[in-house]
Amino acid sequence: MNKSELKTSLEISPNYRLLEPSKCFVFSFAKQLGLDDENCNVLAGGMQAAVNLVVQTCSGSNRGEPIKISLSETAGKIEMDILNQGIPLASDDLSILDKLLKKFDAPGEKFEQISIENHGRLGQSICFNLSKGRSAIPPSVLETGENNSSEEIDPENIEIRLLKHGEEADLSRLFFFVYEYKYINEFIYYPEKVRLMIDSGDLISIVAALPNGRLVGHAALRKWNSNPSVYEPCLGLIDPRVKSRGFFGKIFNVLFEKAREIPMQYCFLDFVTNHDYSQRLIAKYGSVDLSVFVGCQSPATQARLRDLGIGKDPVGTDRYSILYSIIPMTRQPFGEAVYLPNTLGSELDFILKALNMEWYPSPRFNPLAPDGEYKTLRHGAQLSVYFGLEFPGKKALENLLNEWKHLLREGYKYAAVDVPLDQPGFGIVHEILTNNGFFISGFMPFRNTGRLGFRFQAVAPFRIDFNEIKIFSENGKKLLSLIKELYERINPND
């Protein structure tokens, strides 16, 4: 390895006592690169400031995730990254960093660039590029501010409003406090992606904020389709200190007022079913339960009810299930009628009635195309796979089933097959899938459009206790009972 490719790294626990030995490590590496003592001390001081900030930020956490210090030299430029896998830095933490840099004799103007890079569930890096030049920290983020995280929360002082420009990092931080780095929508840990979605109109973000600007709650409308217009109420959470004060309901009321101002065909929701609190809240807006995804999510990506102070977590089920519902914003969001096999039509007529739809028996001779086409979407973190059978066909089904068998051997736990109901051959698709271990989930808008589809699902062997799947509405309970019956028919030994 030649000099232009030198790199090294060190992992330390988040402890102030390790600052001095870490300084010696950085200083020695910089010395090997031929830097003079002044610049060696500047680089080491930058490390001390960043690690000090990370330790200070994470002092209230019991996670104890290591801090990784990485250094490299390429083409004469020295780069140093301090990886923080604990509590994310907030926007006002940059002003604290600037003060710490001065404290450790490494003022910002000594570096060519100082930046915060987000790595989703992997954490954040404080990045330094060393050379002479102006400070890389914009004056707008160097304004003095105080950390008010310990301030007592007065419910009367919480403002519910749109997320302001510059608060994206604070929103990421709030999600970390509740979910750590395990939230299912990873984009929330990238403040720049959040801002881009807001500016493009793909995200409407509503927050609950204290007078000092600290965020304590959030909910959003995410746009999934423009023609027809389809949104998802999502990203809902509350700081546990205000969990029992009804603020999530207040935030959602403001969010739904926004939804009523937007022309849309429907909005859809998916509820984790280890509790039914959210379902109860949304029911008053006219939600219609369409399907249940049994065991589709890893519990690692969900906040524990015990930690949130709202009950006990399931003990007889290895994975979480999801209830999928819509709120129709037009009388018939999916048209007037669909064709279904007699068995499915008679069993699920109660859902279609809630959508103001009729069903008619599928023609007896409704052939399945020889080829067909499907697409695969894998969610590795969930060990789940989703197949979209855009054009049902025998060859496509054969390949799909072989792919699922392969994924089972790789450790995947859940598979879904979404089929549009306006394509021929649905009755044969139903027969083939049920003969290969799949059972019904319910109805689904196909690809978030105005086309109604149907979802079949299959699961790997794991514990499922249907009594621990919490459903609030009577129609939802009726659907779950039917799914349980079909699941047990396929898995008689469970």
Last residue of one domain, picked from the residues 213, 242, 264:
264
Amino acid occupying residue 457: Q
Q: For the chain, how many structural domains are there in total?
A: 3
Alpha-carbon separation of residue 287 from 60, 267, 283 (angstroms) = 39, 9, 5
Same domain, 38 and 66: yes
Q: CB atoms < 10 A from the CB of 380, how many? A: 10
Could you read off the pLDDT of 432-458 as tens digits, one per residue?
A: 999 999 999 999 999 999 999 999 999
pLDDT for residue 131: 65
Residue 231 corresponds to which tokens in the numbers above?
Answer: 């949104």
What DSSP state is assigned to residue 204? E
Same domain, 256 and 234: yes
Same domain, 452 and 328: yes
Report if residue 95 sits inside a domain.
yes
Same domain, 271 and 259: no
Report if residue 119 sits inside a domain.
yes
CATH of residue 100's domain is 3.30.565.10
pLDDT for residue 142: 32
Report if residue 148 sits inside a domain.
no
Our separate counts of H helices and E strands in the chain read 13, 19
Same domain, 326 and 185: no
Report if residue 110 sits inside a domain.
yes
Residues of the chain scoring pLDDT < 50 = 1-4, 132-151
CB 31 within 8 A of CB 60: no
Contacts of 196 (CB under 8 A, 6+ apart): none
Residue 464 corresponds to which tokens in the numbers above?
Answer: 């499922």
Residue 489 corresponds to which tokens in the numbers above?
Answer: 């028919």
Report if residue 149 sits inside a domain.
no
Could you read off the pLDDT of 346-378 as tens digits, one per residue?
A: 999 999 999 999 999 998 777 899 999 999 999
pLDDT for residue 141: 32
pTM over 0.75: no
Cα gap 264→234, rounded to integer Å: 16
Alpha-carbon separation of residue 415 from 181, 435, 487 (angstroms) = 24, 15, 14
Q: Which of 183, 226, 178, 219 has the alpha carbon at shortest distance from 201?
A: 226
Q: Which of 258, 254, 235, 225 has the alpha carbon at shortest distance from 333?
A: 225
pLDDT for residue 265: 97
Same domain, 287 and 377: yes
Strands across the sheet containing 67-74: 7-12, 67-74, 77-84, 124-130, 111-118
Q: Which of 308, 441, 315, 307 has the alpha carbon at shortest distance from 387?
A: 441
CB 374 within 8 A of CB 446: no
Same domain, 255 and 385: no
Dihedral in degrees, nearest 10, Cα atoms 258, 262, 264, 270: -20
Radius of gyration of the chain (CA): 27
Bridge partners (DSSP) of residue 340 are 361
CB 246 within 8 A of CB 252: no
Query: What range does the domain containing 231 cover?
Result: 157-264
Q: CB atoms < 10 A from the CB of 146, how many? A: 10
Same domain, 115 and 134: yes
Report if residue 150 sits inside a domain.
no
Report if residue 144 sits inside a domain.
no
